[in-house]
Amino acid sequence: MADDGLLVNFSVADQILSTKPVFRGGRWKERLTAKKAADRRHRKPHTTKSSIATSGDINQPTKPDDDVPARLPKRQKLDEPPKSHTNPRPNATSKEVISSLFSYNPSSTTVASKPESQNQAPTTPSNAPLPDGISKFTDLGLSPTISSHLLTKLALKAPTAIQRSTITQLLKEDSDAFIQAETGSGKTLAYLLPIVQRMMHLTALEGKKINRDSGLFALILAPTRELCKQISIVLESLLRCANWIVAGTVIGGEKKKSEKARLRKGLNILVATPGRLVDHLDNTEVLDVSKVRWLVLDEGDRLVELGFEEDVRRIVQELEKRSDVVNSDVVKDAILSLPTRRTTVLCSATMKMTAQRLGEISLKDAVHIKADFFDDLEGATAERSRETAFLAPAQLKQSYIVVPPKQRLVTLAAFLKHTFARKGSVMKAIVFFSCADSVDFHYEVFARKVAVEKTGRVPKASHNDSDKENGKPASSSTTNISQATVSHSSILASTPNPTLTIHRLHGSLTQQTRTATLSAFTRSGDPSILFCTDVASRGLDLPNIDLVVEYDPPFSSDDHLHRIGRTARAGREGRAVIFLMPGPEEGYVELLRQGYRDGIGRNLIRTEAEEILKKAFGNAEASLAVDQKPSAVGAGWSERAEQWQLEAERWIVDDTAKAGEMAKRAFVSHVRAYATHVARERAMFDVKGLHLGHLAKAFALRERPGHFGRNAKVELKKGGHRGEHSSKEAVGAQPKSKSQKMELQQPVIDGQDARRKMQAKMKEHLAAAGEFNIG
Ligand SMILES: Nc1ncnc2c1ncn2[C@@H]1O[C@H](COP(=O)(O)OP(=O)(O)OP(=O)(O)O)[C@@H](O)[C@H]1O
């Protein structure tokens, strides 16, 4: 504290306060007030109400610490900050009072459960391949060629439960199907295997195998380019045992001319995003869908949520109109064993109304295939799993941390440090944020170059913009990665192995950057973190994710299941942690419990934020505190945590133009995104209950941004939120144009109305798929 001329940090600990500060400058009255306050603290150390805690209304309960005196000293205002003996800051603004991390925080309303080791019972994985002896791929009717390819080339020994049910069904019958199974249970292969096997048996004229000229037989639709690419990779790996079958993609992101050329050359299986396919149906004559006999709609609920319902309806209509089954005038090449009717398969991990709506458009007399690993087991567990629509993988270890808003940033830093410091325990983690601006902000906070570290080494920083700054052409793929990846981080600065790579992913990045980032994160064998929005929550099969952190709670419990489903896939272990704020947000714990097979979440544990901070900051040598300030000598964990926070805040103050603006934008977008939680969960995530002053600290801001000032607060209190804004901002895109920036500052409108309008806009935005860059 003493190094920072502008700080009046009321809650630093005894050791630091043992030296009385000398106040110079300013008017004598103010010096006297400051001196008296310091004397009082010196006599009886306690925490006092910070300026942030006193300003504006506080909807969350903010309890002072026990030792706060009945009458609180007035907020100090110093025209000139007390001059420090050590490190006066030249650009310090006057009249600044800095709120302590540890005073006036709201208290948690839930009770801690037992510690992890006693609490978490070992569980059988629920999305794993079936155990030896229960089922083999050959038992399901798959040919020896495919079965041996699965075993020898793809190292897949046995099917998962959903694969067993789906493959048997789709191999023997042509009826439509709705496949529903938990995340990471292998749904992709479940629908691909029977399609490929049946296509392997199609024969063209004179008993010859089919080839690329024989026609398009299968269409697979998925909501995002990333998912389409992923499906296409699995398909290609499968087709290595049937190389006469040709597959391809039309997903946008490249010239339509190249896609048309690909279609002209001929494909037997096409993976596409709905928007792009409709475009080709309208404009590419050479695209012949008359022989399509399999239509797969993957991530069905997401297709609807992203506004593809109409596109899917169009595609289904076109398939019917142009089908050679109904159109006798279509010239047919004889393809033996081609089914007489089209089979439509809808896949979803959740049984939502949205998926059902898509089912109404596309399915006829569909079979509902819903398999569970525990169907083969007897007893109560199996009973419960049959009753429940959708559950988290049984082997996934979930925990929650209740963190007051002021401590969120430092607790995240501490948590990540502690997690990655234990070498080998976690190699890859995903951290979910509510919006792109927040991803960018946190990426920069953790990637920022720390001046001098405890080790005395100046770290090698390969910052994201280095290529741009060096004026190098931005053409290579490394440049794309470098825009979203940094290999130096302040998180592990003081650990023996300080290399941690941070990647970021959100819809405002270019498609090339996103592709390069995902591929770099996937390939990386070193400790790495992916900071992302929900763009990475659905369907993506990123290998070996050990940990999912929901730093910002999901917008719906379905989103939660998809997010945590990025770990604990195909029977592997995984951990998921969610950050909740004290108060109504703790109601979410009950929802987490309901996602367990036992219905009570016996294995759900609570981790104490204080424990995390102590672990990260407790050891002076290996602490996260980033410099060697005299005040840090002999300080305890809380002082070092304060110092880490102050360091981040100083970074913002010193670079208001760039870092400061970014932090403000992140704060504003975050609050707006917060208002978009689904209606049934909004009582837990009520934007009116946010303490904006405290929350600002989570963005390293010493006060809430100006245009989020008094008026906004009053309006929030009345029942609105920061009203009208572009949906793009709600999901986190940065305001690029002047008009977008203006929107950020528009007046508040009625709460209900604003919410409705924002949701409509969000829908519009998602339909346009700006977040997903869908073609
Ligand atoms: N039979 C199997 N044995 C072992 N691993 C498998 C098997 N089938 C699939 N997998 C692996 O399981 C992982 C998850 O598969 P997939 O992406 O198809 O799951 P999903 O059910 O579609 O998940 P989500 O709902 O999250 O999209 C992949 O890495 C895949 O290679």
CB half-sphere exposure, 555, CA atoms < 13 A: 21
Per-residue pLDDT of 635-694, as tens digits, reads 788 888 999 999 999 999 998 888 999 999 999 999 999 999 999 999 999 999 999 999
Higher-confidence residue of 337 and 48: namely 337
How remote is the CA of residue 570 from the centroid of ligand 1, in Å? 6
User: What does the pLDDT average to over 134-143?
Assistant: 90
Percent of the chain with pLDDT over 90: 40
Residue in 156, 166, 299 to alter for ligand 1 test, most ligand atoms within 8 A of Cβ:
156
pLDDT at 558 exceeding the cut of 80:
yes
The lowest-confidence range among 5-14, 20-29, 275-284, 732-741 is: 5-14
How remote is the CA of residue 305 from the centroid of ligand 1, in Å? 23
How remote is the CA of residue 347 from the centroid of ligand 1, in Å? 13
How remote is the CA of residue 401 from the centroid of ligand 1, in Å? 29
234-238, 320-324, 336-340: which is most confident = 234-238
> Token pair for residue 88?
């006066």
Residue 400 phi, psi (nearest 5): -135, 150
Q: What is the residue with the minimal CA distance to atom 25 of ligand 1?
A: 183
- pLDDT, residue 483, reads 52
How remote is the CA of residue 227 from the centroid of ligand 1, in Å? 13
Residue in 185, 231, 545, 573 to alter for ligand 1 test, most ligand atoms within 8 A of Cβ:
185
Angle, alpha carbons 302-303-309 (nearest 5°): 135
Higher-confidence residue of 40 and 139: namely 139
How remote is the CA of residue 128 from the centroid of ligand 1, in Å? 9
User: What does the pLDDT average to over 393-404?
Assistant: 92
Distance from C-alpha of 168 to C-alpha of 184, rounded to nearest angstrom: 20
Confidence of residue 52 (pLDDT cuts 50, 70, 90): very low
User: What does the pLDDT average to over 357-383?
Assistant: 69
Higher-confidence residue of 243 and 392: namely 243
31-40, 120-129, 684-693: which is most confident = 684-693
- pLDDT, residue 321, reads 92
Residue 548 phi, psi (nearest 5): -120, 125
Residues with CB under 6 A from ligand 1: 129, 156, 159-160, 163, 181, 183-189, 349, 539, 541, 565, 569-570
pLDDT at 197 exceeding the cut of 60:
yes
- pLDDT, residue 633, reads 56
Percent of the chain with pLDDT over 70: 64
Confidence of residue 332 (pLDDT cuts 50, 70, 90): low
> Exposed, middle or buried, 110 (CB in 10 Å: 0-12/13-18/19+)?
middle
Per-residue pLDDT of 63-115, as tens digits, reads 333 333 334 334 333 333 333 333 334 444 445 567 788 888 888 877 655 54
Q: What is the residue with the minimal CA distance to atom 15 of ligand 1?
A: 186
- pLDDT, residue 42, reads 53
Interface confidence: ipTM more than 0.95? yes
Higher-confidence residue of 356 and 284: namely 284
How remote is the CA of residue 146 from the centroid of ligand 1, in Å? 17
Q: Is the dihedral of CA 114, 116, 118, 121 positive or negative?
A: positive
**Count of C-beta atoms within a 10 Å radius of residue 666:** 29
pLDDT at 48 exceeding the cut of 50:
no
Per-residue pLDDT of 510-542, as tens digits, reads 888 888 899 999 998 888 999 999 988 888 899
Distance from C-alpha of 370 to C-alpha of 422, rounded to nearest angstrom: 39
How remote is the CA of residue 661 from the centroid of ligand 1, in Å? 42
Residue in 163, 167, 188 to alter for ligand 1 test, most ligand atoms within 8 A of Cβ:
188
Higher-confidence residue of 707 and 392: namely 392
- pLDDT, residue 489, reads 52
How remote is the CA of residue 159 from the centroid of ligand 1, in Å? 10
Distance from C-alpha of 666 to C-alpha of 695, rounded to nearest angstrom: 11
pLDDT at 151 exceeding the cut of 90:
yes
Write down all domains in the chain, each with its CATH number in brackets: 137-376 (3.40.50.300), 396-643 (3.40.50.300)
> Token pair for residue 496?
């023996």
Question: What pTM, to 2 d.p., does this model score?
Answer: 0.76
Mean pLDDT of the chain: 74
- pLDDT, residue 335, reads 75
Nearest of 490, 496, 756, 757 to residue 622 by alpha carbon: 496
**Which atom number of ligand 1 is nearest to the Cα of residue 162?**
21
User: What does the pLDDT average to over 400-427?
Assistant: 89
User: What does the pLDDT average to over 681-709?
Assistant: 87
Residue in 134, 164, 167, 189 to alter for ligand 1 test, most ligand atoms within 8 A of Cβ:
189
- pLDDT, residue 611, reads 92
Distance from C-alpha of 744 to C-alpha of 724, rounded to nearest angstrom: 8
CB half-sphere exposure, 528, CA atoms < 13 A: 24
**Which atom number of ligand 1 is nearest to the Cα of residue 181?**
21
